[in-house]
Amino acid sequence: MADYETHAHDVLVVGAGGAGLRAAIEAAKSGARVGLVCKSLLGKAHTVMAEGGVAAALSNVDDRDNWRVHFADTMRGGQYLNNWRMAELHAREAPDRVRELEAWGAVFDRTPDGRILQRNFGGHKYPRLAHVGDRTGLEMIRTLQDYAVQMGIDVHMECTVVDLIKDGDRIAGAFAYDRDRGRFKVFESRAIVLATGGIGRAFSVTSNSWEYTGDGHSLAYRAGAALQDMEFVQFHPTGMVWPPSVKGILVTEGVRGEGGILVNREGRRFMFDDIPENYRSQTADNEEEGWRYVQGDKSARRPPELLTRDHVARAIMREVREGRGSPHGGVFLDISWIKSKMRNAPDHIKKKLPSMYHQFKQLADIDITAEPMEVGPTTHYVMGGVRVDGDTQMSTLPGLFAAGEAAAGLHGANRLGGNSLSDLLVFGMRAGEYAAKYAAETPPARIAPEAVDAAAKAALEPFGRPTNGSSAEGPYQVQHTLQDMMQDLVGIVRRQEEMQRALDGIAGLRLRAMTVSVTGNREYNPGWHTALDLENLLIVSEAVTRSALERQESRGAQFREDYPEKDPAYASFNITATRGTKGEMIVSRVPIPPMRDDLKQIVEENK
Amino acid sequence: MTATARGAGAGAGAGAASHDVVKSGQRAAARSDQSAGGEAKRATFQIWRGDGAGGELKSYETSVSEGMVVLDAIHQIQAESANDLAVRWNCKAGKCGSCSAEVNGMPKLMCMTRLNDLDLDEPVTVEPMRAFPVVRDLVTDVSWNFEVKKRIKKFTPRAPDAPDGTWRMAQSDVDRVQEFRKCIECFLCQDVCHVLRDHQKHDEFIGPRFLVHVAALEMHPLDTENRIDELRQAHGIGYCNITKCCTKVCPENITITDNAIIPLKERVVDQHYDPLRGLVRLFRRRK
């Protein structure tokens, strides 16, 4: 029998980024015994990397803003594949969630009259992002972390969940190992919230850290829940491209929000060249108007650099592919030019974008107050995730909830910048609330010892395999091969034939993953951890590829070279991925319920 | 993708202003290519391997390319020849504070330490932080820090200023607190602090990180709590003798000593050693 520790909770939250922390806080507030599990130390999750701000229609800077406009912006950005109920709740509740953070100690930048300052961002009609310079995520995670710690929530740091355990058709608990000693832990919990973030590590150029291996997506899928919208992977338009070791690191959209422009090697501000029809009326048609907009002139329309991320990323790709890129295969992003418009530009830039200044100075020897940056697209975010109910965040599996990036629905085909931080607050809270409610109303579940033994045996398998000879391969080779393949074949520009090759590749890598061997022992062994992550990466890679094949059109973040136009026939359903009885992946088209009339009207009014 | 709306007005305006952008961009790119210096170099890294029971520096060689940081070299070695080399990291952009270690004896974030700032003709040593117990290789047990934080009195705001439950604060009043809140909890300041590192006063002194945390709370314009008694006693602020080592190693450039610790020390002095206040206290106690 396997050797393990047992912990009992009413609600187990997996992941301690913004969504997980917010869920844990809410569940604890309602009196549930909450356990919070995270793969890293507390406070290091990817929320910390979020720079630009949190979107909420506080209307502190522009009083024309309100939740209706935010709702309409979110739906337009998502190309109407969003779960409209989630988009509604998100737009309505985000302002309260942001103000609540202030009551818990967050210190946002201020307006001249002392309220929370808001900035412009892509796809948002009015200045809407509450922020702290360009380190908003750090401010949020620290505020939530300190608040959760003060509530006395049990935190299991550096602990990885590898399996969910069911009792019949509902959730009973989770099986995990602690990273530092390699000991097993069993969490008894009849409600589990997955807040595990994204899947960026399935690609080679990404802004995501090692943690983002699609754990929550894969745990839910393997337990029988449905994934949705997995074809929609957001490639953030501006990642660093040089030097090679920093390729993919994020350059905040805030640079463009503060007036940064994109320029090709010919000196052309190419974003003016291709403005999509549905944004034409909201977009400036000359540079002067664009500058007035970022300076807060309410009569001006936004510059094309602030179009949605999918569009900007493709425009950059086009410039590079057609030979007009910068020396290292990106384009130029320039904020230093504003010195021609304001006297104290260098100080202004350092004040508004301190981490960007720091990051480029230290990692690339570039002074962004004097020189342009070189940038290109980087895998950043997955709109797809666990299919959930809009109000409760419960998945199709009773007792299993998901929130934040791990859940699907809010963002549809493309996420607007700033909507992820508000997403994790609004739906983290809702997931915590309803998970606690579910746990209170549900009798305890039973964990079968055989299920634990099987999970323990599977987790230790990589140690038992031969470590030398021709068949021995380490986990890193398989991981790197998968990442390179996904980047090449299922990246920002997709084609049928390439994605078919990717599916074959995934099948081959799955066999290799079953034979990788690891050296050393169970104590803090990254080789072992990487070997166990491979299954998750392979599942999410397959889900992305199969969903992308099924959607034979270009919409939002998905660009199909073989189907370059948007097809109205694809506007009425989401694509889901579920596990079949033989372990095969089943892809289905699930109709989107008709939008409520009052919401339809809001969309019309804001067109 | 179709190139539509190639507006005459837009395109025409773009040329002049952006010409300089391209020139300086090309210059910067050429400069970085030059410094790459052609083919890849090899470098030697002496990495501490071991656990709580002991360990030693082991030598690894790997190739070095343009722009690499110490963490890249560690990852490369991990993938090539030491799959089980334990190292903590996350963001790789100096924002999460996970990859703290001692590089050539200096407390550093490995992700922000460029190899071209080091002498690669000599082996580069990489060791775990010394102020904390080793778990394995470069990973230390920093859980003490999380325990310390629990002991600090929480943020307690005054009643809201406006009927809608919000507050008003001037930017100039939050600037200083925002400086403290830049802290990424890398614990390098704790590592370098001699009170913790050399004298192991972990039970009596909370260290620079948490003095900064207390300062952020005490100087928060909305906070109404008083943490001065604990600062003097349980938090041990008196142990700090202002050598400013913490400020020097802070990757966020927080002026820990001057802006956080010294003002807190002044508040302690004000509240506990001011003769006039002393008299008042004496009088109150007797009542």
Q: What is the pLDDT of residues A498-555, one digit of tens each?
A: 999 999 999 999 999 999 999 899 999 999 999 999 999 999 999 999 999 999 999 9
The per-residue pLDDT for B20 is 79
Whether residue A273 is contained in a domain is answered as yes
Interface contact B181, partner A, CB < 8 A: yes
The pLDDT tens digits for A543-589 are: 999 999 999 999 999 999 999 999 999 999 999 999 999 999 999 99
Q: Within this chain, do residues A256 and A364 fall inside the same structural domain, yes or no?
A: yes
Where along chain B do its domains lie?
A: 41-140, 143-158+165-277
CATH architecture, domain defined by B41-140: Roll (3.10)
Q: Whole-angstrom Cα distance, residue A238 to residue A313?
A: 8
The answer to whether B189 and B252 are in contact (CB under 8 A) is: no
- What mean pLDDT comes out for the span B269-274? 85
Give per-residue pLDDT as tens, A267-298.
999 999 999 998 999 999 999 999 999 998 99
Tens-digit pLDDT profile for residues A463-496: 988 766 555 788 999 999 999 999 999 999 999 9
Tell me how many domains chain A contains: 2
Closest by Cα among B81, B72, B87, B181 to B135: B87
For the cut 50, the answer to whether the pLDDT of residue B13 exceeds it is no
- Asked if A22 has any chain B CB less than 8 Å from its own CB, the reply is no
Indicate if A367 and A471 belong to the same structural domain: no
pLDDT of residue B14: 47
Give the closest-approach CA distance of A579 to chain B in angstroms.
31
Residue B251 contacts A, CB cutoff 8 Å: no
Residue in chain B closest to A210 (alpha carbons) equals: B90
Q: What is the pLDDT of residues B30-84, one digit of tens each?
A: 776 665 555 568 999 999 999 999 999 999 999 998 889 999 999 999 999 899 9
Residue A368 and residue A469 in one domain: no
pTM for the model: 0.93
Distance, in Å, from the CA atom of A504 to the CA atom of A485, rounded to the nearest integer, reads: 11
Same fold, B41-140 and B143-158+165-277: no
Task: Give the domain CATH number at A300.
Answer: 3.90.700.10
Instruction: State the count of interchain CB pairs (< 8 A) between A and B.
Output: 273
CA distance A118 to A128: 5
**Confidence grade of residue A218 (pLDDT, cut at 50, 70, 90):** very high
Residue-wise pLDDT for A310-348, tens only, equals: 999 999 999 999 999 999 999 999 999 999 999 999 999
CA distance A382 to A385: 7
A37 vs A13: CA distance, rounded Å: 6
In chain A, the residue whose alpha carbon lies closest to the alpha carbon of B186 is A44
Partners of residue A185 on adjacent β-strands:
A5, A176
Distance (Å, rounded) from C-alpha A108 to C-alpha A111? 10
CATH architecture assigned to B143-158+165-277: Orthogonal Bundle (1.10)
Q: At which residue do the structure tokens 């300190």 appear? A: A146
pLDDT digits (tens, 9 = 90+) for A75-128: 999 999 999 999 999 999 999 999 999 999 999 999 999 999 999 988 999 999
Determine the Cα–Cα distance for residues A125 and A295; give it in Å rounded to an integer. 14
Q: Are residues A578 and A477 in the same domain?
A: yes
| Residue A188, domain member (yes or no) | no
Contact A571, A589 (CB under 8 A): no
pLDDT of residue B17: 52
- Tokens 């919070």: give the residue: A36
Q: What residues have CB less than 8 Å from A503, skipping those under 6 apart? A: A542, A545, A546, A549
Nearest by CB: B72 against A210, A245, A521: A245
Q: Domain boundary residue among A334, A353, A377? A: A377
Q: In residues, how long is chain A?
A: 607
List the catalytic residues of A. 236, 256
Q: Which residues of A573-602 are buried (b: 16+ CB within 10 A; e: fewer)?
A: ebbbbbbeeeeebebeeeeeeebeeebeeb
* In-domain check, residue A576: yes
Range(s) of the domain holding residue A553: 461-591
Share of chain B above pLDDT 70, in %: 89
Nearest to B41 by CA among B120, B111, B123, B125: B120
Structure tokens at A308: 């949605």
Spatial distance between the Cα atoms of A374 and A240, rounded to a whole number of angstroms = 6
Do B261 and B250 meet the contact criterion of CB atoms below 8 Å apart? no
Predicted pLDDT at B146: 97
Q: Residue B108 is encoded by which pair of tokens?
A: 């550093």
Strand (E) or helix (H) holding A167: strand A159-167
Put simply, the chain A residues between 73 and 112 with a CB less than 8 A from any chain B CB are 99, 102-105, 107, 109-110
Nearest-angstrom CA–CA distance, A47 and A561: 33
Q: Does A329 touch chain B (CB under 8 A)?
A: no
Residue A259: which pLDDT band, with cuts at 50, 70 and 90? Answer: very high
Where a domain ends, among A345, A377, A409? A377
Distance CA B86, CA A524 (A): 6
Judged by CB atoms within 8 Å, which residues 153-172 of B form the interface with A?
154-155, 157, 160, 165-171
Token pair listed for A274: 């291709």
Cβ of residue B53 closer than 8 Å to a chain A Cβ: no
| pLDDT number for residue A464 | 84
Contacts of A477 (CB under 8 A, 6+ apart): A516
Predicted confidence at residue B286, as pLDDT, reads 63
3-state secondary structure of B234: coil
pLDDT per position as a tens digit, B245-262:
999 999 999 999 999 999
Same domain, A357 and A251: yes
* ipTM > 0.90 (yes/no): yes
Specify the CATH number for the domain of residue A512: 1.20.58.100
- Helix/strand/coil (H/E/C) assignment for every residue in A318-344: HHHHCCCCCCCCCEEEECHHHHHCCCC
- pLDDT score of A446: 95
Query: Nearest CA to B19 among A27, A13, A268?
Result: A268
In this prediction, what percent of chain A has a pLDDT beyond 70? 99
> Residue range A433-437: average pLDDT?
98
CA distance A360 to A505: 36
Instruction: Confirm whether A32 is domain-assigned.
Output: no
pLDDT at position A466 is 76
